[in-house]
Homo-oligomer: A and B are copies of this chain.
Amino acid sequence: MREEFRSELAIISRSLVNMSEVVCGAMRRATSALLAADQTDAEEALATDAEVDAYYRIIEDRVYDVMARQAPVASDLRLVITTLHMAADLERMGALAAHIARSALRRHPAVAVAEPVASIFKEMGVVAEGLGVKITKAMSARDIVAAAQLDRDDDAMDDLHSKLFSVMFGSDWSAGVEAAVDAALLGRYFERYADHAVNVGKHVVFLVTGESQTD
């Protein structure tokens, strides 16, 4: 029974890795759509969101199925529910990538990010990409070192977020109110993306070590 449960959990974990790869691809395209006003990238990122939702439902169904058939208790139960939390975090990350893609489309053919903050969003995109690669690696290799590094990336995202606000609130901001509002909301999407990635990382640590990471 226990071995069967382990193997079911491994199947769910593989689906999570696939889901994570899809989410990372969506975020990559959304960021590129944002920085280059690329309509194709934006539309592909949006189309991917449906795929992400489908992954969530598949994983959820499988989790219910495993619980119903194996009736795991104690730590096994926590393990399998942890995978459900991971799927929920990945689903939100996909939704945030879609929000970014929608912002890019809304201003198309103009670039949605004002010139004075474009470099900040470029860096945010790099950090988001790094987070995505690390959580995917952490999940696929059960690698808790990569998971621990996520906090540093999250700090980098927070720093970029603060920098964004100081540029927008600086006396030489001339891009106007609309560009500032766009930037503030986009900044929030990137920041939330990072938060959810860190959550995924904590869940990986729990899956691997059985020890939960307190905030």
Chain A residues in contact with chain B, CB under 8 A? 64, 67-68, 71, 73-74, 77-78, 81, 84, 88, 165, 168-169, 173, 176-178, 180-181, 184-185, 188
- B184 lies within 8 A of A181 (CB): yes
Q: Do the beta carbons of B184 and A173 come within 8 Å of each other?
A: no
**With contacts A67-B77, A177-B180 known, what are 10 further pairs, Cβ within 8 A?**
A67-B73, A68-B77, A81-B81, A88-B88, A168-B177, A168-B181, A169-B178, A169-B181, A173-B177, A176-B177
Number of copies: 2
Q: Across the interface, which residues of B come within 8 angstroms of A78, CB to CB?
A: 64
Complex alpha-carbon distance, A178 and B181, angstroms: 9
A177 contacts which chain B residues (CB < 8 A)? 168-169, 173, 176-177, 180
Report the minimum CB–CB distance from A170 to chain B (whole Å): 9
User: How long is the Cα–Cα vector from A181 to B176 in the complex, in angstroms?
Assistant: 11
A181 proximity list for chain B (CB < 8 A): 165, 168-169, 180-181, 184
**Complex Cα–Cα for A92 and B15 (A):** 26
